[in-house]
Amino acid sequence: MSQPLLEVKNLVKYFKTKSGMLHAVDDISFSIDEGKTLGIVGESGCGKSTTGRCILRLHEPTSGQVLFNGQDITKLNQNELREVRKDMQIVFQDPYASLNPRKTVSELIGEPMRLHGMFSSRLERDAKVLRLMDIVGLAPRFVNSYPHELDGGRRQRIGIARALALNPKFIVCDEPVSALDVSIQAQILNLLKELQNEFGITYIFITHDLSVVNYFSDDILVMYLGKMMELAPSETLFANPMHPYTKALLSAIPIPSLHNRPERILLRGEITSPINPPAGCRFAPRCDYCKDICTKVTPDFHKVDTDHYVACHLYS
């Protein structure tokens, strides 16, 4: 088998807080092949966004490796990192916060090209900006509008055009549609899919919305409080979820149909604190199948079937 485009090995990110170490990302490993999409799902505070930012080194990982095309990103110096970032981009969740309010659309989209000196003249860059706007479906008349003059969907298109500007191989999509209305959401999801088909881009798709991730991803990684719970191809995960958390999460999806409604599994309580978490399975306090061992020993993330991995004592 050929080398995966991105390989994350034992990624750890702790944040120091007043009350102790916040275990945002705790020992995450996965790999993605070129042209594929990995969905990372989980609820707020599960570390999915931090994982995405660590991969791009927008956060410095506490430990672990991020291999992009076989090159360990965590070891690069600033200049080497700049080069690699041409190939790795990010689309942010909030199209309001991620665009500098003092820049026009053409400055925003043109910025990555300017920074990397892609074009010698301003006119060439403008031409490319217009091409990009066309690709993401932004009318050319917005070329010198400011982001605050546009609605959320158009702003998100700016974010995507900007990420595409350097012809990246890989894009982290951090909840790119959760701030948008459903009809606009679908427009953006379709756009991202078309771009993948046309340019062969590899995605990490971070979201809390399981129906979106199912539509979008080849593989899905379920995270809970910084830990990997389950990793499997989308179809397998939805057909045969193994981890009790995945099961509860899947059953909680509000389904817009009156038929085929699954039995709800209501979880007890709420997410516990990620600061200095105790040993054992992070999900144990809310788990209906919790055994003695679950509160004492952290379960291994192990293979249970082809391409299907789970971290749960029920399966060891």
Partner 1 sequence: MKKESKKNDFQLSPEEMEILKKYKKRSFLAETWRGLRKNKGAVIGLIIIALIAFVAIFADLLYDYEEVVIMPDYSATLMSPSLEHPLGTDEFGRDVLARIVHGARLSMEIALLSTAFSLSVGGIIGAYSGYLGGKFDAIVMRIMDIFLAIPNMLLALAIVAALGPNLFNLILAIAISDVPRFARILRSTVLSIKDSEYIEASKAAGARTTTIVFREIIPNCIAPIIVQASIVMAAAIIIAASLSFIGLGVQPPAPEWGAMLSSGRSYMREYNYLVLFPGLAIVITVLAFNLLGDGLRDALDPRLKR
Partner 2 sequence: MAHEIPELKVENLVVEYVTEDAVVHAVNDVSFEVPKGSTMGLVGETGAGKTTTALSIMKLLPDPPAKLVSGKIEFAGEDIVPYSEKQMDALRGSTVSMVFQDPMTSLNPVLTVGDQIAEVIRRHQRVSKLEARTKAKEMLELVGISGDRAGEYPHQFSGGMKQRVIIAIALACNPKILIADEPTTALDVTIQAQVLSMMRDIKQKFDTAMILITHDLGVVADICDTVAIMYAGRIIEYGKIEEIFDDFKHPYTEGLFGSLPNLQKRHEKLKPIKGLMPDPSDLPTGCYFHPRCKYATAECAKRQPKKTYLSDTHYVECLAYEEGTGVKIEGGDIK
The token duo for 40 is 């990372």
Q: What order of strands is seen across the sheet that includes strand 63-68?
A: 20-32, 6-17, 63-68, 71-72
Place of tokens 């989209």: 109
Backbone region of residue 25 per phi and psi (left: phi > 0; alpha: psi in -120 to 50; beta: other values) = beta
Provide the pairing of β-strand 170-174 with 88-91: parallel
Report d(CA 145, CA 132) in Å as an integer: 15
Among 14, 30, 68, 92, binds partner 1 (CB under 8 A): 92
Residue 135's binding partner, choosing from partner 2, partner 1, none, with beta-carbon cut-off 5 to 8 A by kind?
A: partner 1
Q: Which stretch binds partner 1 (CB under 8 A): 65-73, 83-91, 212-220, 231-239?
A: 83-91
E strands, 146-217, in order: 170-174, 202-207
- Write down the least CB distance from residue 151 to partner 1, Å: 11
| Residue number, 80 or 151, with CB nearest to partner 2 | 151
Determine, following the binding rule CB under 8 A, whether residue 77 of this chain makes contact with partner 1.
no
Give the residues across from 66 on adjacent strands: 8
By C-beta, is 73 or 228 nearer to partner 2? 228
Partner whose footprint covers residue 215, from partner 1, partner 2, none (CB < 5 to 8 Å by kind): partner 2
The listed partner (partner 1, partner 2, none) that binds 312, CB under 5 to 8 Å by sort, is none
Separation between Cα atoms, residue 217 and residue 221, nearest integer Å = 10
Residue 182 touches which of partner 2, partner 1, none (Cβ within 5-8 Å per kind):
partner 2
- Which positions from 164 to 203 touch partner 1 by CB under 8 A, shown as an x/- string? -xx---------------------------x---------
Rounded least distance, CB 267 to partner 1, Å: 31
